[in-house]
Amino acid sequence: MEAPDEQLMLAYRDGDAGAFEELYARHKGALFRFVLRSVRERALAEELYQEVWIRVIEARERYERQARFTTWLYTIAHHRLIDHWRKAGLKTVSLNADDDPPPEPAAGPAHDPLRQLEGREQLGRLLRALEALPAAQREAFLLREEAGLSVAEIAAATGADEEAAKSRLRYALKKLREALDDA
């Protein structure tokens, strides 16, 4: 039986490097996709992703078992993204604006998800619809799909109340479903 994430983090706090390696292996893919699909730029996503883990590492001495490790990890990621967007002055990716206008289509082949998903029209539409979501709704959806967080945990990780988190998730699902049904 696998050790819980929280137990692994406590073991790492107490000096077990192997515990961190196992913890990292469990969460690296989902966290990377969460960051990548939030910022839609691979180089930037890699930088932010690394910084999230560095924050986890630096916080090891203060780690306490108060919530699920996953919620704690994505709370750190959320804050890192907020810091990035504030620093960049990107209004269209504000997490607090549920009614953000869709971002402009990404320019250039490196930013074009359709280039990466050629031949998969439906998935392409889904991906574009995901990018077009307001940041808060996209984040709620990604936290649900990638991190497996519940509505309450999404609310905790993003600092929102549960009603707001639930509302964001429903709007996101509705728009994504519409994008799929358009086919």
Partner 1 sequence: MPDQDRDVKVSGSYRALDREEPPRALDEAILAAARRELETRPAPLVAPTGRRHWYVPLAAAAVIVLSVVVTLHVQREQPGPEFDGNVAPAPPAQPAPKAEPAPRVEIQTKRDARKPPPAAPASQAELAKPLAGPAESAAGATSEARRAQPMLERQAVGQAAADAVAKRAEDAETPERTLERIAQLRREGRHKEADEAYAEFRRRHPDYRIPERMLEQVQPR
In the complex, the smallest distance separating the C-beta of residue 21 from partner 1, rounded to whole angstroms, is 6
Which stretch in 59-67, 68-76, 80-88, 96-104 sits in contact with partner 1 by CB under 8 A?
59-67
Q: Report residue 156: phi and psi, to 5°.
A: -65, -40
What are the DSSP calls for 99-146, one per residue?
TPPPPPPPPSGGG-HHHHTTT-HHHHHHHHHHHHS-HHHHHHHHHHHT
CB 132 within 8 Å of CB 105 = no
* x/- letters, 125..144, toward partner 1 (CB under 8 A): -xx--x-------------x
Based on the number of CB atoms within 10 Å of its own CB, is 123 exposed (0-12), middle (13-18) or buried (19 or more)? middle
With binding defined as CB under 8 A, does residue 12 bind partner 1? yes
Stretch that binds partner 1, among 11-19, 78-86, 94-102, 103-111 (CB under 8 A): 11-19
Binding site for partner 1 (CB under 8 A): 12-15, 17, 20-21, 24, 28-29, 32-33, 36, 46, 49-50, 53-54, 57-58, 60-64, 66, 116-117, 120, 122-123, 126-127, 130, 144-145, 150-151, 166, 169-170, 173, 176-177, 180
